[in-house]
């Protein structure tokens, strides 16, 4: 969307004087404007070297989930009590809401944090997901990616033996702090 706006702006500018074009190009090249266009995973990667530059190739089974209760309800039994817990709209790694994360352009993945630490960047199918969630069925080399609606998750299905590249967070707590700063626009 931001790239589109950029192009629209350049199209408009094409009809104006060269002087205005030069000034506008200089403004677009300001560091703030450039960093604003960087995708979230690149901002995270650049924050104090929280993830390595190169990733580890892994083979994973990949499924998808949506933000609604259909994909976020777990039955938990203990001490003779059975409870239904509804995590819809939230992620397990912190007090982020899915709404805020997606509004910031963050692609969310649920992982087994014992295998892929929270805050890791997972490249799959040309997208970069950030490991921020988990689930009772997400164990081992299994990744659940967040899609916007339930129908999309059904279409996605179960994709076994997929190749992903994981840039594992070196410090999940610091990675999550960096994501908090990004979400809050600091």
Contacting Zn ion within 52-91 (CB under 5 A): 66, 68, 70-71
Closer of 23 and 74 to Zn ion (Cβ): 74
Cα separation, 76 vs 104, whole angstroms = 32
Cβ of residue 153: shortest distance to Zn ion, in angstroms? 6
Does 150 contact Zn ion by CB under 5 A? yes
**Which residues does residue 77 pair with via DSSP β-bridges, in sequence order?**
82
Q: Which stretch binds Zn ion (CB under 5 A): 118-126, 134-142, 143-151, 157-165?
A: 143-151
CA angle 70, 72, 73 (to 5 degrees): 80
Query: DSSP E strands: which ranges in 37-149?
Result: 56-65, 73-78, 81-86, 90-91, 94-97, 107-110, 121-124, 127-133, 142-146
- Residues touching Zn ion: how many (CB under 5 A)? 5
* 107/109 Cα distance (integer angstroms): 7
Measured from the CB of residue 67, what is the shortest distance to Zn ion in angstroms? 8
Q: Binding string, 87-126, against Zn ion, x = CB under 5 A? A: ----------------------------------------
User: CB-wise, 140 or 148, nearer to Zn ion?
Assistant: 148
User: Is 137 a binder of Zn ion (CB under 5 A)?
Assistant: no
Nearer to Zn ion, 109 or 179 (CB): 109
Rounded to whole angstroms, how far apart are CA atoms 170 and 173? 9
Residue 159 lies near Zn ion (rule: CB under 5 A): no
Residues 76/68, Cβ–Cβ less than 8 Å: no
What are the residues binding Zn ion (CB under 5 A)? 66, 68, 70-71, 150
């Amino acid at each position: 969307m931001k790239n589109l706006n950029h192009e629209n702006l350049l199209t408009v500018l094409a009809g104006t004087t060269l002087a205005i074009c030069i000034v506008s190009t200089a403004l677009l090249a300001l560091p703030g404007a450039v960093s604003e266009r960087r995708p979230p995973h690149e901002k995270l990667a650049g924050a104090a070297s929280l993830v390595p530059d190169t990733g580890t190739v892994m083979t994973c089974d990949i499924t998808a989930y949506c933000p609604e209760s259909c994909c976020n309800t777990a039955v938990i039994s203990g001490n003779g009590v059975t409870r239904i817990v509804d995590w819809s709209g939230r992620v397990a790694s912190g007090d982020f809401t899915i709404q805020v994360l997606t509004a910031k352009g963050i692609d969310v993945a649920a992982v087994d944090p014992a295998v892929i630490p929270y805050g890791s960047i997972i490249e799959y199918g040309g997208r970069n997901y950030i490991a921020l969630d988990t689930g009772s069925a997400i164990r081992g080399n299994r990744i659940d990616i967040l899609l916007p609606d339930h129908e999309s998750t059904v279409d996605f299905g179960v994709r076994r033996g997929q190749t992903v590249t994981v840039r594992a967070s070196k410090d999940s707590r610091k990675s999550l702090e960096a994501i908090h700063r990004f979400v809050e626009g600091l």
